[in-house]
Amino acid sequence: MRILQVITSLLIGGAETLVVNLVPRLRAMGHEVDVCVFNGVETPLMERLRKENQGIKIWELGHSFYNPLFILKLARIMRKYDIVHTHNSSPQLYVALASVLCSVELCSTEHNTSNRKRSWKWYAPIESWMYGRYDHIICISDIAEKKLREYMGGEWTNPFSEKYNRISTINNGVDVEAIHNAVPDAKLMAVKEGRMAILMVAGFRDAKDQDTIVRALSLLDKNKYEVWFAGIGERQEAVKELAIRLGVADRVRFLGLRNDIPNVLKAADIIVMSSHWEGLSLSNIEGMAAGKPFIASDVNGLREVTKGYGILFPEGDAETLAQEIQKLHDDPTSYESVARQCYTRAQEYDINKTAEGYARIYDLISNRHEEYLSARQTRN
């Protein structure tokens, strides 16, 4: 099958990492898989995508996320493929609009449990039309599927309707063993100088709330702890300013975009995700796969993976987060126990299982299309 993955960019993020992990595995199954990005900025993930997939076509539409001209460009490109698979909001909408101008089967992955557009009542009819254009919608977690069905309502919640069967869940996955067996980054190991390194891997966006980690650091012994942030984004300067105001700037390292996240994870001591919400965070699973204790805010998308294995803290509660970090520092037995539990949990979210699930959905879409064409031919 000829499959096109469409995404906003290949900057750091869960959806972006998933696409880059899926492509070589789907190609190994015999599919012809290419990628289309709205913003063609060069990134470590873009470099890795080219390196791991000889002969791949990467369509670069421009250098923005919301350009109406992309709709016409997409329509011309989409005609070359059997299935077009979208990730993130603007590709979801623009591909749906472009599909009016060409005939192609559509699939989309819903990566979040919430987004700001769902609070815009005027936008609901647009999303209802948009989702209706898709032959199948994959949710990355059970809670993401539940939230999407609640938002859409109507036939999407009726198990006997055709639309109900167009939504299913395939859990996000990572290359668990590759992460677990990675070699710790030597430079990062050296700069710690005996301090416990607390790592968050995420873009600097409102939803990620790196602020809470900085505030937690300000409550901890300055000689024993430091924080690493891997990622870039619009709120990076605001987080830097907060670190300066709280007097911890010398203990906060901004690592930027990295193409060696497994090595960074292995160099860290504790992995934290302080998000306000998630779909099913790949950083969550990656942190657990590294065999390090994982601490997460108690929110949708993090709770279902972490609960009973890692540690949850109330969203935005820097004091409780600091206490949990200190407990792990002070109790090596507890540290090792949580780390083992996290690794056990990560093994349930292997990327190969995810790729197999996606391949099954593509077959389902293709079979439905063949049945439709056969029925139409019979009527004629």
Does residue 290 contact residue 264 with C-beta atoms inside 8 Å?
no
Q: What's the pLDDT tens digit per position in 79-92?
A: 999 999 999 889 99
pLDDT higher than threshold 70 for residue 373: no
SS3 91: helix
Taking the CA atoms of residue 258, residue 19, residue 302 and residue 356 in that order, the dihedral angle to the nearest 10 degrees is -130
Secondary structure element (H or E) that encloses residue 139, with its range: strand 136-139
Which pLDDT belongs to residue 64? 85
Dig out the tokens for 237 from the structure. 């300067």
What is the rounded CA–CA span in Å between residue 313 and residue 324? Answer: 8
Does residue 202 contact residue 282 with C-beta atoms inside 8 Å?
no
On average, the pLDDT of the chain sits at: 92
Which pLDDT belongs to residue 13? 78
Sequence-distant contacts of 310-317: CB under 8 A, at least 24 apart: 310/338, 310/341, 310/342, 310/345, 311/338, 315/209, 315/274, 315/276, 316/209, 316/212, 316/274, 316/276, 317/212
Which pLDDT belongs to residue 379? 64
Q: What's the pLDDT tens digit per position in 43-53?
A: 989 999 999 99
Does residue 351 contact residue 21 with C-beta atoms inside 8 Å?
yes
What is the rounded CA–CA span in Å between residue 1 and residue 105? Answer: 11
Residue 106, strand partner residues: 84
Does residue 264 contact residue 230 with C-beta atoms inside 8 Å?
yes
End-to-end CA separation in angstroms for the chain: 27
Q: What's the pLDDT tens digit per position in 300-350?
A: 889 989 999 999 999 999 999 999 999 999 999 999 999 999 999 999 899
What is the rounded CA–CA span in Å between residue 145 and residue 166? Answer: 11
Residue labelled with tokens 């009973």: 308
Q: How confident is the model at residue 376 (pLDDT cuts 50, 70, 90)?
A: low
* pLDDT average, residue stretch 150-155: 90
Q: Which CATH class is domain 2-173+350-379?
A: alpha beta
Helical packing angle, 69-78 and 89-98, nearest 10°: 70
Which pLDDT belongs to residue 270? 98
Does residue 342 contact residue 309 with C-beta atoms inside 8 Å?
yes
Domain boundaries, given as residue ranges, for the chain? 2-173+350-379, 176-346
Q: What's the pLDDT tens digit per position in 194-251?
A: 999 999 999 899 989 999 999 999 999 999 999 999 999 999 999 999 999 999 999 9
Percent of the chain with pLDDT over 70: 97
Continuous H helices in the chain = 14-28, 44-52, 69-78, 89-98, 124-132, 142-152, 176-180, 186-192, 210-217, 236-245, 261-267, 282-289, 303-306, 318-330, 332-346, 351-379
Q: How confident is the model at residue 172 (pLDDT cuts 50, 70, 90)?
A: confident
- Render 292-331 in DSSP notation, one character per residue: S-EEEESSTTTHHHHTTTSEEE-TT-HHHHHHHHHHHHH-
Which pLDDT belongs to residue 380? 59
**Residues present in the chain in total:** 380
Which pLDDT belongs to residue 12? 73
Which pLDDT belongs to residue 44? 87
Q: Which CATH class is domain 176-346?
A: alpha beta
Return the DSSP state at 269: S
Instruction: Please indicate whether the domains covering 2-173+350-379 and 176-346 agree at the CATH topology level.
Output: yes
